[in-house]
Amino acid sequence: MLTHEEQLAEFEARIARGEKIEPGDWMPAEYRRQLIRMISQHAHSEVVGMLPEGAWITRAPNLRRKMVLISKVQDEGGHGQYLYHAAESLGISREEMLDALLEGRAKYSSIFNYPTLNWADIGVIGWLVDGAAIKNQTMLAQASYGPYSRAMVRICAEETFHHKQGKEMVIQYAQGTPFQRQMVQDSINRWWWPTLMMFGPHDSDSPNSETLIKWGIKTKTNDELRQEFINEMVADLTAVNLTLPDPDLHFDEASGNWTTGPIDWDEFWRVVKGNGPCNKERLAARQEAHENGRWVREAMAAFAARSPQVIA
Ligand code: BYC
């Protein structure tokens, strides 16, 4: 029988060797807690993230755009499913996670508490928001927990299509009519800063990063990922003559990075704490959807009680 210290040493040695930790394996309680926290927040983000884009399905300008958008929103629902399953493998139930979301106790990505005000927002979400998500999720595909890492591989493959369709749309509008250029610039102006906030607080204010990095859940810090994203996006957006809403943005020769002005962390925490522009609307939409699905859950439970072998 190994002592706790010996089990911990063996666990950390496995991570150092690059082995994946699987659901039945021994793991420290804090590793399990951190994963449940992060994966459930991630799952909620995917599902709540369907709302701002879903709002434009009926207003898509043509059939091709409508089909792409429907398919993208459906993919996000699927990502939520993979992630809820990954979290369930750690011993939390779907009901517990959903109750936390519906009662307003759970976090989900701050970005989805902003409104989609024009059609170009759909392209900008694809290029910027999915771009930020892919940067983070490509890192998480290396995570030490097997089910999370495998879900990320699959999700990243799908997100890459989301990213490409957004980029195609933004570039087309940036090179389009004066109205299209104005629409897409307005959208970039509104989404730039909230997208940078998606990566989380600065490293000095990120209480979870140290533990997540120690145990191989994250392999890069919030600021490292944000900086990589800024460097790529400034180059790409300026190449199509779009501007960024940051008078302090400049290239720093010494570090080789694009440096932004200060991020408004007061705004970030207001949004995270439930007081962003759309938090209440998002929660109400999820509560309503959950209530509307009640009869399906009840019918499934009644059917399972009568015919357990069919459900199994
Ligand atoms: N929003 O210690 P920190 C998508 C919280 S969806 C809200 O740095 P950590 C898509 C954080 O939870 C993809 N809360 O945390 C879907 C913590 O609070 P707690 C979304 C945030 O975990 C549909 C506190 O602040 N991606 O692609 O080390 C359509 C301190 O932060 C945020 C994910 O969910 C935030 N932005 O790092 C289109 C990725 N940032 O829990 C697209 C998975 C921080 O201690 N998650 N907080 O009470 C992660 O990678 C990490 O959890 C984060 C934060 C980088 C977000």
- In this predicted model, what pLDDT tens digit does every residue of 38-62 receive, in sequence order? 999 999 999 999 999 999 999 999 9
Instruction: Check residue 302 and give its pLDDT.
Output: 93
Give the tokens for residue 153. 């591989």
Domain membership of residue 42 (yes or no) is yes
> Which of 208, 227, 273, 275 should be mutated for ligand 1, with most atoms under 8 A from CB?
208
CA 38 to ligand 1 center in whole angstroms? 7
Task: For the chain, give the percent of residues with pLDDT over 70.
Answer: 98
Residue 287 lies in a domain: no
pLDDT at 157 over 90: yes
What is the predicted pLDDT for the residue at 306? Answer: 87
User: What is the arithmetic mean of pLDDT over 164-176?
Assistant: 98
Please tell me the distance between residue 260's alpha carbon and the centre of ligand 1 in angstroms: 21
Ligand 1, atom 29: closest residue by C-alpha:
49
**Of all atoms in ligand 1, which is nearest to the CA of residue 209?**
28
Looking at residue 57, what is its pLDDT? Answer: 98
Ligand 1 centroid, distance to 110 Cα (angstroms): 8
291 in a structural domain: no
Per-residue pLDDT band at 310 (split at 50, 70, 90) = low
Q: What is the pLDDT of residues 181-234, one digit of tens each?
A: 999 999 999 999 999 999 999 999 999 999 999 999 999 999 999 999 999 999
Position 1 scores a pLDDT of 83
Residue 298, in any domain of the structure? no
| 303 occurs within a structural domain | no
Rounded average pLDDT over 166-189: 98
The residue whose CA has the least distance to atom 24 of ligand 1 is 206
Q: How far apart are CA 110 and CA 41, in angstroms?
A: 11
pLDDT of residue 99: 97
Residue 66 falls within a domain, yes or no? yes
Residue 281 placed within a domain? no
- pLDDT band per the 50, 70, 90 thresholds, residue 307: confident
Sole residue written with tokens 């992630």: 83
How far apart are the CA of 49 and the centre of ligand 1, in A? 13
Mean pLDDT for 149-163 is 96
Q: In this predicted structure, what is the pLDDT of residue 120?
A: 98
Minimum CA distance residue for ligand 1 atom 36: 198
What's the CATH number where 138 sits?
A: 1.20.1260.10
Residue 109 within a domain: yes
Residue 122 — left, alpha, or beta (φ > 0 → left; ψ -120 to 50 → alpha)?
A: alpha
Give 192 Cα–ligand 1 centroid separation in angstroms.
17
Compute the mean pLDDT over every residue in the chain, rounded to the nearest whole number.
97
**pTM surpassing 0.85?**
yes
**What average pLDDT does the segment 266-270 reach?**
98
Check whether 246 has a pLDDT greater than 70: yes
Which residues 6+ apart lie within 8 Å of 120 measured at CB? 169, 170, 173, 180, 183, 184, 186, 187
Cα 195 to its chain centre, rounded Å, is 11
Q: What pLDDT score was predicted for residue 312? A: 57
Range of the domain at 22: 4-276
Q: Which residues pair with 258 in a beta bridge?
A: 251
Tokens of 144: 């030490």
3-state secondary structure 93-135: CHHHHHHHHHCCCCCCCHHHHCCCCCCHHHHHHHHHHHHHHHH
The yes-or-no verdict on residue 308 having pLDDT over 80 is no
HSE, CB side, 13 Å, CA atoms: give it for residue 80. 19
> What's the gap in Å between 27 CA and the centre of ligand 1?
22
User: How many structural domains does the chain have?
Assistant: 1
The Å distance, Cα 301 to ligand 1 centre, comes to 33
Q: Residue with the nearest Cα to atom 32 of ligand 1? A: 200
* Residue 76: other Cβ atoms inside 10 A: 22
Contact call for residues 76 and 109 (beta carbons, < 8 A): no
Ligand 1: which residues within 6 Å by Cβ?
A: 37-38, 41-42, 45-46, 49, 53, 76, 107, 109-110, 125, 129-130, 133, 136, 197-201, 206-209, 212, 222, 272
The rounded Å distance from CA 282 to ligand 1 centre is 17
